[in-house]
Amino acid sequence: MSILSELDFVSALNDDTKLSIQILYRDFLSARQLKPRLGQKQMIAGVANILSRIGDEGKAPCGFIEAGTGTGKTLAYLIGALPVALEREMPLVISTATVSLQTQLIEKDIPDLIDATGLSVNWALAKGRRRYLCPIRLESALDAVNEESGLYPDELALVLDSDERMLVDGLSRAWIEGSWAGDMDQVPDQLTDTVRAALTTDHRRCQGRQCRSFQICPYFTARESWLDADLLVVNHDLLMSDLKLGGGVILPPLEKTILIIDEAHQLSRVAANQFTDHVRIAQSLGAIKTIERVLTTVRSVLPESHRIRNEVERVPGSLDLLARQLADWGRQTLEQMQGYPESEFAFQNGGSRYRLRLNDQMSLPEREGEAAVQIINRLQKILDWLKGISVQGGDEISETDAEGLAEQLGLAMGRLESIPLVADRMSRPCIEQGDARWVRVGQDVRYATQDDPTDLEFWVSPMSPAAALKEAIWGRIGACVLTSATLAHQQTFDVQASSLGLMDFSSLIVDGAFDYARQGRLVIPQQSGDPRDELAHPQRVNDYLESRVDSGLGILVLFTSWRLLMRVQELMSEQLREVVLVQGQLTLSSLLDTHETQRRDGYTSILFGLQSMAEGLDLPGDLANEVVITRLPFQPPDDPREATQAEYLKIHGRDPFREMSIPAATIRLRQAVGRLIRSETDTGQVTVLDRRLVDTSWGRSLMSQLPSFRLEM
């Protein structure tokens, strides 16, 4: 066995690096008594080829690699990249979208590679602050448990019920005794959102090196290990958070990093979420009150001649004017929306949402006085002073009080910092840059009053993160490989590259390792139809599932919306209901455990899930003998980003259905279909209940990009 032939064309790699890759792969296969896979060898060479261009003049080397199911892509990019990273002394950062893949890497793939080959490499898992205990927050939570006056009376996070109080008390003892290191993911009990929020912090409130608990902080202790790591595993959210902060703030400097982005088909969505900003009127008014309380406390201890006194004196008046301006903005917006037809709103979760058209405006009322950005700059000076006191001490206020006030002020400022950007985008047409903008009211806007705008939220998001990513990462990164089992559309990566702002890239498509024509079928049954008939289609789905009750199979049924899922639930017979497990009824792990038990005992077991279960879910063997697609996975038409992008394309004479909807649905459908065949011994069928797949030209085009299953109609 040799992959040197695969590497021969990678001329820029020196012979020692080529040999290191060869030996690493050979030793792993030998230790695990495995045979080499053609696709895996091709991907190893593809990764090495991209990285061989590090240091070339021009832009940093970036490339897409689509690796079909069964390739063994995680091992391929580890073997292809680690020798290059070690030789060049550049940290290798691997970013994933799902917890399941991250868990696979840190619990199986990386330890397995090191154990099999004896490779000397330091590696670590990097996580955000929210996944570690904040010792200062623990103290505040204990105050709440002991019914002492809380440091953060305006935070719901510290309203704990009796069970939560017991959990906080137990975690405190474990922390003090040293039996728990403060990793929130290692807490054996199920944590409620309330407890997690009460015990963790974020970058706005974190005092960093100025905190009195810095030396024992679990987050910063973990970060120390990241500095020495040759290999760092992160998720897309943390990667994007670091980029939003400027890059190289949490993670290693971009220019010195080799980045592998796995599950890269999800990067655009995660990036768009990270670069989204919003202003909630109620939250902003609450933040202003918190700031006023902090400033009152500070003013009471400052002598008249103190250097920070001027800032403390000037801010309250400006804050009062800002609060009035925000309230007026809310009332004015509600008045503007009162006359809009109901069809313009999306109603969900007890509230309503209105998407602004590209030429719409909902302007922040003009007022005299300082702008929000000037107010925030003044507050930053006060915050810096409080942080300095918390570390160095001072005559005016104790270190502990300064630390508590700084945390409250930092949190409140964080809730105001988006006002300048959001107000600017809302106050002018966005025809050129195409920002998606929407307003959400926490109650049905038809029943809201102009006197109560406080539950109003203004949201601004790039319809595509391309421009933000182009500036933040491409051209700065040392090298980058973007990979997934589903990246290409019509055998090219142009759609993905455009959505990510990546203009200069190489590409490789590696076929999967499975014989799909032998192992699986694509079935369009008699019960299939056009899902746009919202009365008939739920009945058709139910009729088909009723026919599978006694099949003795493991079946995964994927829905595009809760609405369709719940409608089918309403129609189910008792016999069908007994074998169905629905996403959300239990935790995912408990749901899968129950499913596995039912299958092991030979019973039919049917899983109902949404798109999140179509990705990263591994159901090998008899756990998934059949995957049912109830409807082709197009995004709902009311998604504000996609609706704005569609409007933008139409204005510019382009076809959003062909350019956006079809490529996105193709990726989602390929991900869903990929749940069926997970090994060389798996067999089964994909059942599609949406006849548009075979009855329309675009459906047949979409079908041509699926694995080559035998078609049965």
Calpha distance 47→648 (Å, rounded)? 36
Intra-chain end-to-end CA distance of the chain, in Å: 43
| Burial per residue of 343-369, b for 16 or more beta-carbon CB atoms within 10 angstroms, e otherwise | eebbeeeebbbbbbebeeebebeeeee
| Total residue count of the chain as it appears in this document | 713
Contact by Cβ (8 Å): 507, 63:
yes
Of 184, 77, 97, 61, nearest to 475 by C-alpha is 61
Q: Does 142 map to a domain?
A: yes
Model confidence, pTM: 0.87
Same-domain status, 533 and 666: yes
440: β partners: 353, 457
Tokens 């290693």 — which residue? 252
Strand bridging mode 479-484 / 258-261 = parallel
**Is residue 472 a contact partner of residue 29, using CB atoms and an 8 Å limit?**
no
Amino acid identity, residue 320? Answer: D
Question: Are 434 and 454 members of one domain?
Answer: yes
* Residues linked to residue 67 through DSSP beta bridges, in sequence order: 510
Which single residue is written with the structure tokens 């299939």?
Answer: 528
Instruction: For residue 457, tell me if it sits in a domain.
Output: yes
pLDDT of residue 7: 55
Looking at the structure, tell me whether residues 394 and 417 fall in a common domain: yes
Please tell me the distance from the alpha carbon of residue 238 to that of residue 217, in angstroms, as a whole number: 19
With H, G, I as helix, E, B as strand and everything else as coil, classify residue 31. Answer: helix
What is the pLDDT at residue 159? Answer: 65
| Reduced DSSP (H G I as helix, E B as strand, rest coil) percent helix, strand, coil of the chain, to 5 | 50, 15, 35
Classify residue 688: in a domain, yes or no: yes
DSSP structure class, residue 148: P
Report d(CA 220, CA 552) in Å as an integer: 51
3-state secondary structure of 520: strand
d(CA 519, CA 97): 28
- What is the maximum alpha-carbon separation in the chain? 86
The residue type found at 402 is A
Answer yes or no: are the C-beta atoms of 427 and 250 closer than 8 Å.
no
Closest CA to 265 of 66, 539, 3: 66
How many whole angstroms from its chain centre is CA 398? 40
For 134-158, letters b (16+ CB in 10 Å) and e give bbbbbebbeebbeeeebbbeebebb
Residue whose C-alpha is closest to residue 318's, from 270, 281, 372, 269: 372
Q: How many CA atoms lie within 13 A of 672 on its CB side?
A: 31
Is 545 domain-assigned?
Answer: yes
The phi, psi pair for 280, rounded to 5°, reads -105, 120
CA angle 52, 67, 476 (to 5 degrees): 40
Same domain, 404 and 479: no
SS3 for 367-428 is: CCCCCHHHHHHHHHHHHHHHHHHHHHCCCCCCHHHHHHHHHHHHHHHHCCCCHHHHHHHHCC
Neighbours of 494 (CB within 10 A): 13
Residue that the structure tokens 């019960």 belong to: 527
Quick one: tokens of 494? 């142009």
Q: What is the pLDDT of residues 398-451, one digit of tens each?
A: 887 888 888 889 889 999 999 999 999 999 888 877 789 999 987 544 444 555
Is 266 within 8 Å of 236 (Cβ atoms)?
yes
User: Based on the number of CB atoms within 10 Å of its own CB, is 582 exposed (0-12), middle (13-18) or buried (19 or more)?
Assistant: middle
Residues 319 and 428 in one domain: yes
pLDDT at 348: 66
Does 168 lie in the same domain as 286?
no
**Strand stretches in 60-195, DSSP E:** 62-67, 92-96, 123-125
Nearest to 438 by CA among 453, 422, 460, 463: 460
**CATH code at 115?**
3.40.50.300
Q: Of the candidates 453, 477, 510, which is a domain's last residue?
A: 510
Q: What confidence score (pLDDT) does residue 451 get?
A: 55
Same domain (yes/no): 605, 675: yes
Cα 609 from Cα 560, distance rounded (Å): 9
Q: Which of 597, 631, 591 is nearest to 611 (CA)?
A: 631
Domain count, the chain: 4
Q: In what order do the strands lie in the sheet with 479-484?
A: 123-125, 231-235, 92-96, 258-261, 479-484, 62-67, 506-510
pLDDT the model gives residue 155: 44
Sign of torsion, CA 206 229 481 662? negative
CA distance 607 to 594: 10
pLDDT at 350: 64
Q: In sequence order, what DSSP letters do the residues of 6-31 get, joined into one string?
A: HHTT-TTS-HHHHHHHHHHHHHHHHH
Q: Are residues 352 and 442 in the same domain?
A: yes
β-bridge mates for residue 135, sequence order: none
In a domain, 255, yes or no: yes
Same domain, 619 and 485: no
Answer whether 710's CB lies under 8 Å from 548's CB. Answer: no
Query: Does the residue 223 lie in any domain?
Result: no
- Please tell me whether residues 480 and 538 are part of one structural domain: no
Are 429 and 361 spatial neighbours (Cβ–Cβ below 8 Å)?
Answer: yes
Return the structure tokens found at 197. 């929020």
Q: What angle do CA 264, 267, 273 make, to 5 degrees?
A: 165
Residues linked to residue 139 through DSSP beta bridges, in sequence order: none
Which of 424, 442, 462 is the C-terminal boundary of a domain? 462
- Residue ending a domain, choose from 478, 510, 542: 510
What DSSP string describes 278-327?
A: EEEHHHHHHHHHHHHHHHHHHHHHS-TT-TTHHHHHHHHHHHHHHHHHHH
Taken in order 661, 666, 669, 675, is the CA torsion positive or negative?
negative
Supply the pLDDT for residue 10.
58
Please calculate the CA angle 686-690-691 and round it to the nearest 5 degrees. Answer: 105
224: in domain: no
State which residues form the domain around 285.
278-462
Say how far apart CA 320 and CA 1 lie, in whole Å.
74
CA-closest candidate to residue 372, choices 257, 444, 287: 287
pLDDT of 149? 47
Residue 549 Cα distances to 527, 562, 610, 621, angstroms: 15, 22, 21, 19
Residue 222 within a domain: no
Which stretches of the chain drop beneath a pLDDT of 50? 1, 4, 149-157, 444-448
Shared domain for 521 and 503, answered yes or no, is: no
Per-residue burial over 192-225, b = 16 or more CB atoms within 10 Å of its CB, e = otherwise:
eebbebbbbbebebbbeebbebbeebbbbebbee
Q: Are residues 564 and 667 in the same domain?
A: yes
